[in-house]
Amino acid sequence: MRGPHNIWRLIRTGATLERSGAMRLVLDAFEAPRALRILARVLGWPFQWLGYPGDPAMPPLTRALTALGPAYIKFGQILSTRPDVVGDELATQLRVLQDQLPPFPASVARATIARELGVDPDAAFLEFSEPIAAASIAQVHKARLASTGEAVAVKVLRPGIERAFRKDVDAFYLAARIVDLFAPGARRLRPMEVIEHFDGVVRGELDLRLESAAASEFAATTKEDEGFRVPPIIWHLSGRRVMTLGWADGLALGDNDALDAAGLDRVRLSHNVLKLFLQHALRDGYFHADMHQGNLKVASNGDIIAYDFGIMGHIDEYTRRVYAEILYGFVRKDYKRVAEVHFEAGYVPAHQDVDEFARALRAVGEPIFGMDATRISMSRVLAYLFEVTERFGMETRTELILLQRTMVVVEGVARSLNPHVNIWDVTGPIVTDYIRTHVGPRALMTDLAQTARVLTRFGPQLPRLVEGLLIAQNNPPPEPPRLKRWMLASGLGGAVLGALIVLAAEALL
């Protein structure tokens, strides 16, 4: 679907924002300079009639994003968690996008279930409600299993959602190409790679079989986490366009009035959201990457219940250690070490000055530490961080996009619960504990043990591998039987030595 027609899509995006009255709100929220405001007015006002009308009953920005399509709605969902960036008015408007979008009929959902699973919905479910929540990609129904009477949630994809997302993402690819062509200074942000990354994420989110698998894995890795729950998957009633999981009773995490009325401690909840996310990211390297208020509930005992596992993040052990060292450096105000870690990981080009970079990071960190969160303008902090990345030629790390984005969203959720939350105070102990166990002598022994396990696995193949290497290099081999006997002994010796290292390391750990 990619082609010049996407230019029209981008034009209509601007026209829709102008027609709905959202353009001014967006420019105000991001403190756009006067010149940009004038340009937007000159270019947008004459062509506003080209924009989608949307639902006049909705607030301006919600109306525009809903009319533009699911990819734009996803963007709005992220912004809804950041009142400190877009302002309270816009954040309130955008929160409607999380789970209060117009639903499609329950009859269509039933037909999808019958077609996808090959079962009669009336036979599978004793009850099947009207939609109780409708988001950008799917909607949810409450049902009761005919076999057990258990209450479940049934998630069904919106009709035609795959094509709608494809259309939006194609326009984003065009926007990325335009940035590449006409804004060379922004190429270090790798706009094409960023869009490709999110394209892959969206494709995964549109296959509910993958979401079911993700939920199952996430439940397994977090089953021992106190104060956190993941509903179980009902596998025989789940497929590509339908997912059935256990029902989660609780209050919406974004409804502060209801939380207060129930006597729940919002300060504690704000701390738990941050702690749980960081534990999952650092400890497991597998985390919920769409943790906005619409995907979180609070049980009567204060447990946080997560659902909607279409976007999950994964980071390897090396990246986790880098990320933890950066956070640890900020917690200790060791900006020089933070800078060094960036250079060691290759996040900053080697020709840059590490001391200058450390001073730039200090300018980011110092105004935040010890200050009431209500006095911190995250929009200005993010703007300055962008200036720093541009000044030092830092390229976008596509492997960290989900982690960084989720960190922003989670902090926004925590702030919405407790405007005075300090992310460094809450996460400091978790990062310190991770550094203690994953960086240093103990981590070295763990790495040696893992290496030894690999050696023991490949030990029996060493004779064949080395003999093949010798032959390939045209070296005159010794007497074949003697060589084989020697290599077999060496391979077994390597396996035994590896096993001894594993046992020693595990004893020390």
Q: Could you report the per-residue pLDDT of 253-289, keeping only the tens digit for each? A: 988 999 999 999 999 999 999 999 989 988 899 999 8
Greatest mean pLDDT among 68-77, 202-211, 476-485 lies in 202-211
User: What tokens does 212 get?
Assistant: 């079911």
- Measured distance CA(388)–CA(385) in Å, rounded: 5
Only one residue has tokens 């300079």, namely: 33
Please tell me the predicted confidence (pLDDT) of residue 497: 37
Domain locations along the chain: 5-99, 102-135+137-247, 250-438, 441-508
Task: Check: CB of residue 249 under 8 Å from CB of residue 301.
Answer: no
Q: To the nearest 10°, the Cα dihedral for 386, 387, 391, 392?
A: -40
Q: Can you give the pLDDT at residue 455?
A: 65
Helix (H, G, I), strand (E, B) or coil at 297: strand
What confidence score (pLDDT) does residue 298 get?
A: 95
What would the pLDDT profile of 357-390 be if each residue is shown by its tens digit? Answer: 999 888 877 776 655 555 655 555 655 666 677 7
Q: Report the range of poorest mean pLDDT among 2-6, 146-150, 163-167.
A: 2-6
> What's the whole-model pTM score?
0.70
Using DSSP, state whether 503 is helix, strand or coil: helix
Percent of the chain with pLDDT over 90: 28
- For residues 276 and 347, give the distance between their C-alpha atoms in angstroms, rounded to a whole number: 26
Q: What is the mean pLDDT of residues 411-435?
A: 83
Q: Is 249 exposed, middle or buried (0-12, 13-18, 19+ CB in 10 A)?
A: exposed
User: For the chain, what is the mean pLDDT?
Assistant: 78
pLDDT at position 239: 95
Structure confidence at residue 430 (pLDDT): 85
Angle formed at CA 94 by CA 106 and CA 134, multiple of 5 degrees: 10
pLDDT at 168 over 90: no
Query: Angle at CA 415, nearest 5°, toward 412 and 420?
Result: 150
Residue 289 phi, psi dihedral angles, 5° rounding = -105, 15
Query: What are the angstrom distances between the C-alpha of 128 and each of 108, 139, 164?
Result: 12, 13, 27
pLDDT of residue 260: 94
Q: Is residue 232 predicted with pLDDT exceeding 80?
A: yes
pLDDT attached to residue 267: 93
In angstroms, how far is the first alpha carbon of the chain from the final one? 55
- Please tell me the distance from the alpha carbon of residue 469 to that of residue 489, in angstroms, as a whole number: 18
302-359: per-residue pLDDT in tens?
999 998 898 888 888 888 888 888 878 877 888 899 889 888 888 888 899 999 999 9
**Confidence grade of residue 21 (pLDDT, cut at 50, 70, 90):** confident
157 — pLDDT class (breaks 50, 70, 90)? very high
Indicate which residues carry an active-site annotation: 290
Handedness of CA 180, 185, 188, 194 (dihedral sign): negative
Compare 172 and 275 and report the one with higher pLDDT.
275
| 344/195 Cα distance (integer angstroms) | 27
Q: How far apart are CA 242 and CA 363, in angstroms?
A: 49
Distance of alpha carbon 193 from alpha carbon 41, whole angstroms: 31
Question: How high is the pLDDT of residue 226?
Answer: 92
- Asked if residue 452 lies in contact with residue 499, where contact means CB atoms within 8 angstroms, the answer is yes
User: Token match 């194609």: residue?
Assistant: 170
155 pLDDT more than 70? yes
CB 361 within 8 A of CB 353: no
Query: Which residues touch 301 (CB under 8 Å, ≥6 apart)?
Result: none
Over residues 427-478, the pLDDT tens digits come to: 778 888 888 777 666 666 666 666 766 666 666 766 776 667 667 665 555 5
**How many other CB atoms are found less than 10 A from the CB of residue 69?**
20
Residue 479 has pLDDT above 60, yes or no: no
Centre a 10 Å sphere on the Cβ of residue 375 and count the other Cβ atoms it contains. 9
Q: Supply the pLDDT for residue 190.
A: 65
Three-class secondary structure of residue 134 per DSSP: strand
pLDDT of amino acid 143: 96
| pLDDT confidence band for 222 (50 / 70 / 90) | very high
Q: Whose CA is closest to 68, among 162, 140, 1, 167?
A: 167
In tens, the pLDDT along 88-97 reads 677 777 766 6
Name the more confident of 216 and 293: 216
State the pLDDT at residue 189.
54
Radius of gyration over alpha carbons of the chain, in Å? Answer: 27
pLDDT of residue 133: 84
Q: Is the pLDDT of residue 84 over 50?
A: yes
- Can you name the residues that pair with 145 across neighbouring β-strands? 125
122, containing H or E segment: helix 121-124
d(C-alpha 95, C-alpha 389), whole Å:
30
Give 65-81 pLDDT, tens digit per residue: 888 877 788 777 666 65
**Angle subtended at Cα 348 by Cα 342 and Cα 349, rounded to the nearest 5 degrees:** 140
